[in-house]
Amino acid sequence: MAYKFFDRDLSWLTFNGRILDLAGQDDVPLIERINFMSIFSSNLDEFYRVRMPVLQAMDKLGKLTSATSAIEDPLTLAQQKIMQQQQQFGKIIAGQIIPLLKQNNIHLLINQSLPVDLSEKINDYFFSQVMAFLRPVELSDKKQFFPQNNDLYFLIMLEDGEGNERIVILNIPSDQLPRFYKIDEGDKTYVFFLDDIIRYNLDKLFRKETVKGCYTFKITRDAELDLKDEYPGDLSEQIEDQLKKRDLGIATRFLHQPGMPLRILQLVCDNWGIESSSLVEGGNYHNLKDLFGFPVSLPALRYDKWSAIYNRLSADESIFDQIEKKDVLINTPYQSYSTILRFFNAAALDETVEEVYVTLYRVARDSRIANALINAASAGKKVTVLVELKARFDEANNIKWANRMKAAGVNIIYSITALKVHAKVALVKRRINDRVKYYGLLATGNFNENTAAFYTDHILMTANKDLLREIELLFIFLAKREKPSSPNLIKFEHLLVAQFNLQDRFLAMIDREIGNAAKGLPASIIIKLNNLEEHTLISKLYDASQAGVKVSLIVRSICCLIPGVKGMSENITIKRIADRYLEHGRAFIFHNNGAPEVYLGSADWMNRNIYRRIEVCFPVYDEQLKADITHIINLQLADNVQAVMLNESLQNELVKTTEPAIQSQREVYNYLSTRA
């Protein structure tokens, strides 16, 4: 084999294809299948905003061919893959979703004429609600109209009585009204797209002209912010300024309804500076991420509800005193996030607490945690918060909360432009009888109570002095707002911190397994990640495979490692798991000749995580918690229901087995319920 790595973008598209497969899977409840279609569509929009600009730019520069990659033209192959997936998407809606909805007396009207007996209600909704938000504009009127990123529009061709043509752009106001309108009629439910309600009534908008053609479209724009490495002013001001420009970025996709005349497409390209390579013919309906708001939610058509498991911490004793006695591990969303909220609320109200330190990457819209930090500062405690303003698509919300906290007296730190802080750590200092005691949280996911409801993550609550003093060292470094020019000046013995020791320590642990295998000792590595791209670490895993080390990987999304290749990676297997929750936790288990080391953390093995971020991975020292993590990961490795194997051809293969069915998320929930 001449190449060593999968292309990252094609790998990501195969992951999104797996999400689409779930939408077509018979044993997934119907509304959940619709939700998976929404997730697929949302993911694809992000791909066009974040990755397609890179592929297009590299294609222009002639730099897409790589000696290490399996392909020579990833842009063309990505476009072909997307087209194939869009066709599959259409088949699933038409051939599966709509018939199944009808079986449940739910009629989703797609590409159909208006039912006469419902026209009065549809017309009333149009005149009383929809019409107020419609803004028709001449295509040629550049001063009055600029197509916004991912907004929906009609391009309408009109002709007057004398044969004069004009072209009008009409917005579809799905940002101000629900995308779907529901009518209950007897035992039947009818669901209409907002698009069609407008389309049905175009003759009422343009009474003096004839509609000769009507086509939906949307434009997707480059989402990258142009931030300078050295900026003398307030970083939040720079980001706010760039956010205003984001939706004016280069068009990476003009997605349009089939049948739009070529002369009109050319006119559009000329008017808005769109390159012909960005033209994509889709279906009649765009922004199908809006399916997440499908207005029917029958319990029988959804997953059975799993109630969050509550941790057995006493309500009568301080949470800090209980953590001091024993480490606690919260596994969301199986276990209730209320324990984490309790930690922050206690930090705000406990009179013995003097200082609080937190990193925030994606803040919840209605963040209880940020409010607790505001309360702590208002109570006179020293509160320091590193708010990462460069968390993509959460910049504005993070700025809002940073300003609120700053106004309340919280000391706000921003990372430097060239280095994101992706670590998820918190530190609390209490003074008890003139002694300062440390308590902390170390997590694999954001301190965000909203995403905690559907992201699988692990949060360690600990009073371990070794770990927490190193967390304190990290906050001292972050407060300086500088790149680590001499990483060896700060010694992290327990934590693995990107920019300091994370990559070297992971390489050393893999080398140790290689050494043990060479001695004839048992050797294995189990790693669970969201994304695996960085070539140095992948190459070391290849070395481990060639030395006879069994390497078991669970990689949800991007994976550039090619498994199962004789002489390179025959001892490496890769599983992908997609189910009701988003697999998000990162875990690293090294056999270590029978004395396993277990790490959890924020870091994927991506170039950005290793080289351009501050990440923290942390050891799990408590033996029972190590056993819990190991058992959870082993359940995931045994999944033969919602898992697929990634093969050497970058295909998702169903797990072939005669073993009893194991659906890991259900088994993890059952296990943690029993442990509780």
pLDDT tens column, 479-514: 998 888 766 678 899 999 999 999 999 999 999 999
Residues 6 or more apart from 521 whose CB is under 8 A from it? Answer: 593
**How far from chain centre, in Å, is Cα 558?**
12
The structural domains of the chain, ordered by start, are: 1-110 (1.20.58.310), 112-284 (3.30.1840.10), 319-483 (3.30.870.10), 496-675 (3.30.870.10)
Strand partners, 210: 159
Average pLDDT along the chain: 93
Check if the beta carbon of residue 165 is closer than 8 Å to that of residue 212.
yes
Q: Please state whether the predicted TM-score (pTM) of the whole model is above 0.75.
A: yes
Instruction: Identify the CA nearest to 643 among candidates 668, 619, 626.
Output: 668
Residues 6 or more apart from 620 whose CB is under 8 A from it? Answer: 327, 329, 460, 598, 599, 600, 626, 629
Strand partners, 576: 644
Q: How far apart are CA 361 and CA 279, in angstroms?
A: 35
pLDDT score of 605: 98
256 carries an active-site annotation: no
Per-residue pLDDT reduced to its tens digit, 63-80: 655 544 556 788 899 999
pLDDT score of 207: 93
**Which carries the bigger pLDDT value, residue 530 or residue 416?**
530
Overall residue count recorded for the chain in this entry? 676
Q: Of the residues 107, 422, 458, 591, which is catalytic? A: 422
pLDDT score of 418: 82
Phi/psi of residue 560, each to 5°?
-95, -5
What residue type is assigned to position 297 of the chain?
S
Q: How far apart are CA 490 and CA 493, in angstroms?
A: 10
Per-residue pLDDT reduced to its tens digit, 272-324: 889 888 999 999 999 999 999 999 989 999 999 999 999 889 999 999 999 99
Structure tokens at 232: 């003398």
Structure tokens at 64: 């897409």
Bridge-based pairing of strands 106-109 and 188-193 is parallel
